Structure 1
Amino acid sequence: MPAEQSCDVVVVGLGPGGEALVSRLAAAGLDVVAVEKELVGGECPYWGCIPSKMIIRAADALAEARRVDGLAGTATVTPDFGPVARRIRDEATDDWDDTVAADRITDAGARLVRGHGRLDGDRRVVVETADGEDGPTTFVASKGVVLNTGTSAGVPPIPGLADTPFWTNRGILETESAPASMIVIGGGPIGLELAQAFSRFGTEVTVLEVGPRILAVEEPESSELLAKVFEAEGIGVHDDVSIDAVAHDGDVFHVTCGDVTYEAERLLVAAGRRSRIEDVGLDTVGVEPGHHLDVDDDLRVTDGLWAIGDIVGRGAFTHVSMYQSERVARVILGEPSLGEYDTSMPRVTFTDPEVGGVGMTEHQARERGITVRTSVTDLSASSRGFVHGPGNEGLIKLVIDDDRGVIVGANSVGVSGGETLAGLAFAVRAEIPVATLTNTIYAYPTFWRAIESAL
């Protein structure tokens, strides 16, 4: 490979947004170089969204089977993690092989270069190839460079932790079996989803959260409801803890929190994510790296440099990265802009009940000086909740700007909390007047109809 090559655009990092952007630009006729040092597709299809949801789907099936008693007779459930492990290996990840995804990139007309990409000045990227045989290659991009380097699991500086064989999201999603017991450090979406899923496969699970409550990104009412469900299912939930030390004796993890030591076969660390921006050469373009990259609404870091995905701090979600990739594509291709950046950021935590959120929380709205009115309705008390019976826990909370008469945020917790969220997401994004929502017919009996009670 020549030491220096020209192209139109270099995309460094091929997570969902990066992959979509490469295909979009290449299909439009641009000469695109796609750089990836791991697997094309990134964390989501191999160690994130897809395999985790396969486990959750299987775990939910177990939970529903256990709810047969009193509804439709009797049922005996024997959990077996083998089928879901095989689905992840064979169907979701192709045994962690990205050939199909890589072929999509090259079939679109882009050049795929495997290795570590690093900025080397304005519109220049140096790639150290994975095999290292050809030496570094510099790509000079006439239109610019897009960074989509993603995040890695954050590992808190707990004494002893680094010396133990703990799991992050990667280890747990590659496992072939459910452990007998597991401690989860972190009460955010990833930790909670996997805690509940493995509990339903028979794992004794304890969740340790250093903050005042689990799922702190959502409303307190949602956190409280989910904590009650977890406790009812036998999952230990401990918040506001101080984790002093972690040790592993060869068989068992020991996590010390003050006078209490928790023990388990496995330890999952789900304590947030860390942006991979330390070694991408930002200094060569005069950018100081922080926790994330500051960008404008076109995702521009500086002239000729864009960033998308988790590293820009506007929501670490696949759907956000895909949205951002389209915004950048339109700028690079000179197409009409999508318009004002969508800050509503819908999100879903796939526990049971699901926790959907969109827009601002009540606390965030009050911090912005908004005249806030809130309303909370109990989903289990709705007609659909009554019919559903076991597993009907849920709520809908609306955060309303009372001066403007629009919803600025909402939580939708329930059996289909993520699906119910869709209508609320439109309401927040389009600023549909509360008066219009009130003057709307809601199909009966649906979970969505509970929104009428919350207005």
Structure 2
Amino acid sequence: MTEQLEYDVVVIGAGPPGENVAGRVVDGGLTAAIVEAELVGGECSYWACMPSKALLRGTEALVDAKAVSGAAAAVTGGQDVAATLARRDSFTSNWKDDGQVQWLDGAGITLRRGRGRLSGPRQVTVEGPDGGSTTLTARQAVVLATGSVASIPPIDGLTDADPWTSRNATSAQQPPASLAIIGGGVVACEMATAWNALGTKVIMLVRGERLLDRLEPFAGEQVAATLRESGVEVRTGVSVDAARREDGQVRLTAGGETITAEQVLVAAGRTPATGDLGLDTVGLEPGRYLDVDDTCRVTGVADGWLYAVGDANGRNLLTHMGKYQARMCGTAIVQRSAGDKIDDQAWGTAVATADHDATPSVIFTVPQVGAVGRTEEQARADGLRVRAVTYEIGNVAGASLFADGYTGTAKLVVDEDRRTVVGATFVGPGIAELTHSATIAIAGEVTIDRLWHAVPSYPTISEVWLRLLETYGL
């Protein structure tokens, strides 16, 4: 017999977006069940944001200390690999989700362990770990928060070579002797930084001509320079044609050359985890990102009961943006359940600004990279009349205090017609916390004239804002 249960809202996927939707609807007076086949907390907690940044923090701290005369003399040894990995493990709770489950219980959210799939309108069938099944009926909404998985490109023999994906790279229990990385994006750069610092010989094989090619060119250039200085071999314009594993090594063929490493990490993008969700039972094509409106309601589904948040909708594959979408989505579900009319125009304008035009991200390489909004190239492609200004952050007093010989660059992209910032990029030590100030400026559409009155504290790295405004002019 299949157990039958009803809730106001059923969420498939207990990562941060799913947790936030469930929490928001329960706070709004609705009942909610969340379905999870793996660990409550999802990719971010166990295999992405948290463990990767824990791996990188020790390296960053050592680099910062070595860049300050006096403090540098105290650095007399290398990084303790075992302690670094143990600290990483502590941030994943040793891949146990007891604490996250306690949060669900405390919030009044029901957890259903197992694989959840749509089995018809407003219905989710859960195959439990014991082989039993439960059908959950949603009175108000079903929310898909299933995230994404690492893509494996169709390279001859690569799948059979048992490659690492980002999950392996962030959870490995010891450094490999050598690591070949296929890709030049965020995961590739962060994991090259982390494992190189822990003693692994790293080579990056990048198909494009530069690293971080979705950002301003100087971001990838400065990260590549530091990686090379630290011993990473960075090859651009390289295509891997074939792979094979033999004698405990992976052999990659690229441009007629054979490259050998103990492990190969594939960091070549992500694919939506929507292929096994029963989307065909409600007239949708499996395996694709789901089209949603600005309340994250899936388009093309009768009666508007299906929603998708986070990576599943493909709008922004970033944890903080998935959580942002979840808050908006949960609020919309609560309002609609009460019969309240949502002002789609005002709502849509705000969400579109955050989700498209003011999306922030930080890359925890050495140096750090922070970016929000459009690059200059993207702004021009969108038809904006813009002017860009750059400034070397090392010329700011706060930066010179932060590190001897500070090297870094800041860039603003300004819409000349509205006199507002539409893009900002910062590269350098300690710039992660600068990113939010740019996010506020862009999301709030603060004019250049008004920004002159946002006075940065002296002597901080934030004074670069003043120097950028002076470069731009009155």
TM-score class normalised by the smaller sequence: over 0.9
Counterparts in 2 of 1:68-147, with a 5 A limit?
72-73=72-73, 75-89=75-89, 91-132=90-131, 134=132, 136-147=133-144
Structure 2 length-normalised TM: 0.91
CA contact (8 A) 1:62 1:77 kept: no
Residue 191 in structure 1 maps to residue 188 in structure 2: yes
Q: Quick one: structure 1 residues 65 and 419, their matched pair in 2 at CA, closer, same or farther if it must change by over 3 Å?
A: closer
Give the SS at the match of 1:300.
coil
2:96 partner amino acid: D
In structure 1, the partner of 2:466 is 452
CA contact (8 A) 2:387 2:413 kept: yes
Residue deviations 1:95-119 (CA, integer Å, cap 9, x gap): 2111221222123222211111111
In structure 2, the partner of 1:405 is 419
Q: Quick one: structure 1 residues 3 and 440, their matched pair in 2 at CA, closer, same or farther if it must change by over 3 Å?
A: closer
CA contact (8 A) 2:155 2:240 kept: yes
Q: Note the residue ranges of structure 2 that are not aligned, 5 or more in a row.
A: 470-474
In structure 2, the partner of 1:375 is 389
CA contact (8 A) 2:222 2:367 kept: no
Distance in 2 (alpha carbons) for counterparts of 1:327 and 1:395:
34
Shift in Å, 1:19:
1.1
CA contact (8 A) 2:123 2:136 kept: yes
Q: Quick one: structure 1 residues 141 and 440, their matched pair in 2 at CA, closer, same or farther if it must change by over 3 Å?
A: closer
CA contact (8 A) 2:384 2:415 kept: yes
2:141 partner amino acid: G
Distance in 2 (alpha carbons) for counterparts of 1:88 and 1:75:
22
Higher helix residue share: 2
Counterparts in 2 of 1:265-280, with a 5 A limit?
265-280=262-277
Matched residues, number: 452
Give the SS at the match of 2:208.
coil
Give the SS at the match of 2:220.
helix
1:308 partner amino acid: V
Distance in 2 (alpha carbons) for counterparts of 1:398 and 1:84:
36
Shift in Å, 1:241:
1.0
Shift in Å, 1:324:
1.0
Identical residues among aligned pairs (%) = 39
Q: Note the residue ranges of structure 1 that are not aligned, 5 or more in a row.
A: none
Distance in 1 (alpha carbons) for counterparts of 2:288 and 2:416:
35
Give the SS at the match of 1:182.
strand
Distance in 1 (alpha carbons) for counterparts of 2:65 and 2:130:
50
Moved more, 419-428 or 101-110: 101-110
CA contact (8 A) 1:63 1:200 kept: no
In structure 1, the partner of 2:408 is 394
In structure 1, the partner of 2:235 is 238
Residue 308 in structure 1 maps to residue 289 in structure 2: no
Give the SS at the match of 1:245.
strand
RMSD across aligned positions (CA): 1.9
Distance in 1 (alpha carbons) for counterparts of 2:76 and 2:111:
50
Structure 1 length-normalised TM: 0.94
In structure 2, the partner of 1:430 is 444
Residue deviations 1:105-143 (CA, integer Å, cap 9, x gap): 1232222111111112211111111221x2x22211110
Counterparts in 2 of 1:20-59, with a 5 A limit?
20-59=20-59
2:312 partner amino acid: I
Distance in 2 (alpha carbons) for counterparts of 1:391 and 1:254:
40
Distance in 2 (alpha carbons) for counterparts of 1:331 and 1:197:
40
Shift in Å, 1:445:
2.0
Q: Quick one: structure 1 residues 33 and 74, their matched pair in 2 at CA, closer, same or farther if it must change by over 3 Å?
A: closer
Q: Quick one: structure 1 residues 374 and 47, their matched pair in 2 at CA, closer, same or farther if it must change by over 3 Å?
A: same
Distance in 1 (alpha carbons) for counterparts of 2:21 and 2:420:
34
In structure 1, the partner of 2:176 is 179
Distance in 2 (alpha carbons) for counterparts of 1:2 and 1:32:
20
Moved more, 141-150 or 411-420: 411-420
Distance in 2 (alpha carbons) for counterparts of 1:2 and 1:264:
50
CA contact (8 A) 2:276 2:287 kept: no
Shift in Å, 1:261:
2.4
Distance in 2 (alpha carbons) for counterparts of 1:247 and 1:397:
43
CA contact (8 A) 1:193 1:349 kept: yes
In structure 1, the partner of 2:472 is none
CA contact (8 A) 1:66 1:77 kept: no
- Counterpart among 255, 259, 262 of residue 258 in structure 1: 255
CA contact (8 A) 2:64 2:403 kept: no
